[in-house]
């Protein structure tokens, strides 16, 4: 694989790794933050709905306080004068901004003095149902007021109906006593009132009595968790498009009465995924662009110059022209390397020229000497001069192709080989032998032979000088 491909592959792997790391960080940081914002949004809206429900009870309590701390009411509880009843306990009172359904007057012993119920279906005033009064009488706390400021405000369930209730002690207009009884106002928390709150909050929520069958399977699944911590909210995604929030609404006695369920479209979560997608594509495009720019810069500043240098070196190595040199351009490290290569080539050429001159001189001396000269490596001759050809009768090609021990007479081969092997050490003094040879013609002859062990072309060799006797 070429260096360009390696660099491109390395940059690609680094870019891919960085993209994967950024995606992991984006997904686990940014997306989690969006989910946290979504949960906070749901939590805040449940709190807002709950606060509006509490405001409904507070507004009812304000009206109850105004009526209970009023001299006319204080007198009415004692004398039941018809003028008060004809003036105040009329349909307009129930249909006014108070929007109450029950108006009940009790004496200090908790006995009903006067009670009126506005039936929203018949749109008329009727007596309070007896079963409601009996259930209300069971809650004796409502009629016990240890101080002039004591009151009960909130939710209560009576006769299978959820009511907003406010109970106040009946006092003078100045808020002084003694207390003459209890005034109770109640408002039915029906679907119409829930729908009004939905219009105010612009939220899709529902409330259901906890001890009755719940219409949503998810509500039933989280009910135990809510009841274990009724003061906390629970938020749970329903699917990829909707998320639900749950909370408990307590009655006036502090017990969980209603389950509040809010569903919200997962707009924030979806936007988080879109943002993650945008960031991912931005990272990919940025990474690819950066990788391409880095590769182009590396190619122009490094890879291209390296390729030119490599081509010049290959051209010089393949050519037979010793004068060829690599190109030198610029003043960077590549220019310095090119200069060093050219300097090295000059030194090599100079050395080779000197070696050739020495070789020519040695060959000239070897050819004009009267002695036979030869060099062996193992059992082969690798150099002989012309005198060796005259002594042996073999041509240089024949000598190079044959085992050089075959030149000697069989009677001397073992002796000579053992002697040479005993002294086979580079740098040892030359050994002199008188041995018999067999010339190419078959004639026998005697040689004065001197052998010295040397190193030739990096390998052990034997240099021999012989004279025909």
Same domain, 422 and 445: yes
Question: Is residue 170, in this structure, part of any structural domain at all?
Answer: yes
0.75 surpassed by pTM: no
Helices 31-68 and 191-201, packing angle to 10 deg: 130
Same domain, 221 and 256: yes
Question: Is residue 36, in this structure, part of any structural domain at all?
Answer: no
The Cα 344–Cα 354 span in angstroms is 15
pLDDT 10s digits, 26-45 = 888 888 888 899 999 999 99
pLDDT 10s digits, 167-208 = 999 999 999 989 999 999 999 988 888 888 888 888 989 999
374 exposure class (CB count in 10 Å sphere: 0-12, 13-18, 19+): buried
Same domain, 258 and 207: yes
Same domain, 356 and 431: no
The pLDDT assigned to 224 comes to 87
Please answer whether residues 431 and 423 qualify as being in contact, where contact means their C-beta atoms are separated by less than 8 angstroms.
yes
The Cα 57–Cα 55 span in angstroms is 5
Q: Which residue in the block uniquely carries the two structure tokens 């204080």?
A: 74
Assign 329 to helix, strand or coil: coil
Residue 312 has pLDDT above 70, yes or no: yes
Same domain, 214 and 169: no
Query: In terms of Cα–Cα distance, which of 432, 443, 427 is closest to 466?
Result: 432
Question: How large is the greatest C-alpha to C-alpha distance in the chain, in angstroms?
Answer: 171
Same domain, 259 and 323: no
Write down which residue in 188, 212, 227 finishes a domain. Answer: 188
Question: Is residue 299, in this structure, part of any structural domain at all?
Answer: no
Core vs surface per residue 237-273: b (16+ CB within 10 A) or e: eeeeeebbbbbbbebbeeebbbbbbbbbebebbeebe
Q: What is the dihedral of CA 430, 436, 441, 443, to 10 degrees?
A: 150
pLDDT 10s digits, 224-240 = 888 888 889 999 999 98
CATH number at residue 396: 3.30.450.20
Upstream peptide bond of 56 is cis (omega within 30 degrees of 0): no
Q: According to the per-residue pLDDT averaged within each range, which of 141-145, 306-310, 323-327 is highest?
A: 141-145
Question: Is residue 313, in this structure, part of any structural domain at all?
Answer: no
Residue 426 has pLDDT above 60, yes or no: no
* Residue 450: both structure tokens together: 């001197």
Q: Between the CA of residue 377 and those of 167, 399, 414, 448, what are the distances in Å? A: 125, 13, 18, 20
The Cα 210–Cα 101 span in angstroms is 23
What number is the average pLDDT over the span 97-116?
89
The Cα 73–Cα 87 span in angstroms is 12
Q: How many domains does the chain have?
A: 4
Question: Is residue 52, in this structure, part of any structural domain at all?
Answer: no
- Which residue range(s) make up the domain with 326? 319-361
Same domain, 132 and 162: yes
Cα 114 to its chain centre, rounded Å, is 71
Percent of the chain with pLDDT over 70: 97
Strands 380-384 and 256-265: unpaired
Residue 320 has pLDDT above 70, yes or no: no
Same domain, 112 and 168: yes
The pLDDT assigned to 73 comes to 94
Same domain, 118 and 220: no
Write down which residue in 336, 361, 386 finishes a domain. Answer: 361
The pLDDT assigned to 322 comes to 63
Question: Is residue 30, in this structure, part of any structural domain at all?
Answer: no
Same domain, 156 and 101: yes
Question: Is residue 294, in this structure, part of any structural domain at all?
Answer: no
pLDDT 10s digits, 235-275 = 999 998 999 999 999 999 889 999 999 999 999 988 888 88
Same domain, 182 and 211: no
Question: Is residue 74, in this structure, part of any structural domain at all?
Answer: yes
Tell me what percent of the chain is helix, strand and coil, each rounded to the nearest 5: 50, 25, 25
Write down which residue in 130, 154, 188 finishes a domain. Answer: 188
Same domain, 103 and 154: yes
pLDDT band at 97 (very low <50, low <70, confident <90, very high): low
């Amino acid at each position: 694989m070429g260096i360009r491909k390696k660099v491109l592959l390395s940059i690609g792997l680094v870019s891919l790794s960085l993209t994967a790391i950024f995606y992991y960080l984006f997904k686990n940081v940014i997306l989690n933050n969006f989910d946290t914002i979504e949960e906070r949004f749901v939590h805040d809206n449940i709190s807002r709905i709950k606060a509006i429900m509490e405001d409904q009870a507070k507004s009812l309590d304000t009206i109850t306080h105004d009526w209970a701390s009023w001299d006319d009411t204080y007198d009415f509880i004692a004398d039941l004068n018809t003028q008060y009843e004809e003036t105040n306990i009329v349909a307009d009172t129930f249909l006014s901004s108070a929007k109450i359904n029950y108006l009940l007057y009790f004496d200090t012993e908790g006995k009903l003095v006067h009670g009126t119920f506005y039936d929203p279906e018949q749109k008329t005033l009727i007596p309070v149902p007896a079963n409601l009064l009996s259930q209300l009488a069971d809650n004796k706390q409502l009629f016990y007021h240890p101080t002039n400021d004591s009151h009960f405000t909130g939710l209560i369930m009576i006769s299978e109906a959820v009511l907003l209730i406010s109970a106040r002690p009946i006092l003078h207009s100045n808020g002084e006593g003694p207390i003459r009884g209890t005034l109770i106002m109640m408002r039915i928390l029906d679907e119409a009132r829930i729908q009004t709150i939905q219009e105010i909050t612009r939220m899709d929520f529902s409330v259901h009595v906890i001890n009755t069958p719940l219409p949503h399977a998810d509500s039933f699944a989280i009910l135990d968790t809510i009841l274990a911590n009724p003061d906390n909210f629970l938020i749970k995604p329903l699917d990829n498009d909707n998320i639900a929030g749950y909370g408990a609404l307590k009655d006036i006695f502090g017990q969980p009465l209603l389950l509040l369920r809010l569903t919200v479209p997962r707009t924030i979560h979806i936007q988080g995924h879109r943002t993650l997608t945008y960031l991912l594509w931005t990272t990919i495009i940025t990474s690819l662009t950066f990788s391409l720019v880095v590769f182009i810069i590396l190619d122009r500043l490094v890879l291209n110059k390296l390729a030119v240098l490599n081509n010049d070196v290959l051209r010089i190595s393949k050519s037979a022209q010793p004068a060829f040199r690599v190109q030198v351009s610029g003043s960077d490290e590549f220019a310095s390397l090119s200069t060093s290569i050219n300097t090295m080539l000059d030194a090599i050429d100079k050395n080779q020229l000197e070696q050739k001159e020495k070789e020519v001189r040695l060959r000239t001396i070897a050819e004009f000497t009267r002695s036979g000269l030869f060099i062996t490596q193992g059992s082969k001759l690798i150099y002989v001069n012309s005198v060796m050809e005259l002594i042996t009768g073999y041509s240089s090609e024949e000598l190079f192709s044959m085992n050089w021990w075959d030149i000697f007479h069989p009677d001397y081969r073992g002796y000579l080989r053992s002697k040479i092997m005993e002294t086979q050490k580079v740098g040892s003094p030359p050994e002199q032998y008188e041995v018999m040879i067999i010339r190419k013609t078959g004639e026998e002859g005697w040689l004065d032979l001197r052998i010295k062990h040397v190193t030739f072309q990096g390998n052990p060799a034997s240099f021999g000088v012989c004279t025909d006797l």
